[in-house]
Amino acid sequence: MEDQMKKIQIGIRFPEDVKRFIDQEAARNCSSANSEVIRAIRERMDRIGERSDADERASA
């Protein structure tokens, strides 16, 4: 349990086209919209080098 990162809940407003894309990707990957948003953000973090090794282990 202590390996899991603390999770917070936030509200985000998306443009309609972005929401459609998130929902389509969630359906295609048999996952939730929340998982797709997290996946997209983590991919961006990886590209710009903002993820630490501890972050990567916690999300695996």
Question: Could you report the per-residue pLDDT of 1-60, keeping only the tens digit for each?
Answer: 455 678 999 999 999 999 999 999 999 999 999 999 999 999 999 999 977 655 555 555
Name 39's Cβ contacts closer than 8 Å, sequence gap at least 6.
Answer: 31
Q: Is residue 3 part of a domain?
A: no
How many folded domains does the chain comprise?
1
Q: HSE of 25 in the Cβ direction (CA atoms, 13 Å)?
A: 14
Residue 57 lies in a domain: yes
- Specify the pLDDT at position 22: 98
Q: Within a domain: residue 20?
A: no
Question: Which pLDDT score is estimated for 1?
Answer: 46
In a domain, 16, yes or no: no
Q: Identify the pLDDT of residue 5.
A: 79
- Give the distance, in angstroms, between the CA of residue 29 and the centroid of all CA atoms in the same chain: 13
Residue 55 has what pLDDT? 57
Domain containing 43: what range? 30-60
Domain membership flag for residue 18: no
Residue 25 lies in a domain: no
Instruction: Look at residue 14 in the predicted model and tell me its pLDDT.
Output: 97
Task: Read off the DSSP letter of residue 15.
Answer: -
Is 23 within the bounds of a domain?
no
- The verdict on residue 9 lying in a domain is no
What are the angstrom distances between the C-alpha of 37 and each of 1, 8, 17, 28? 23, 14, 14, 14
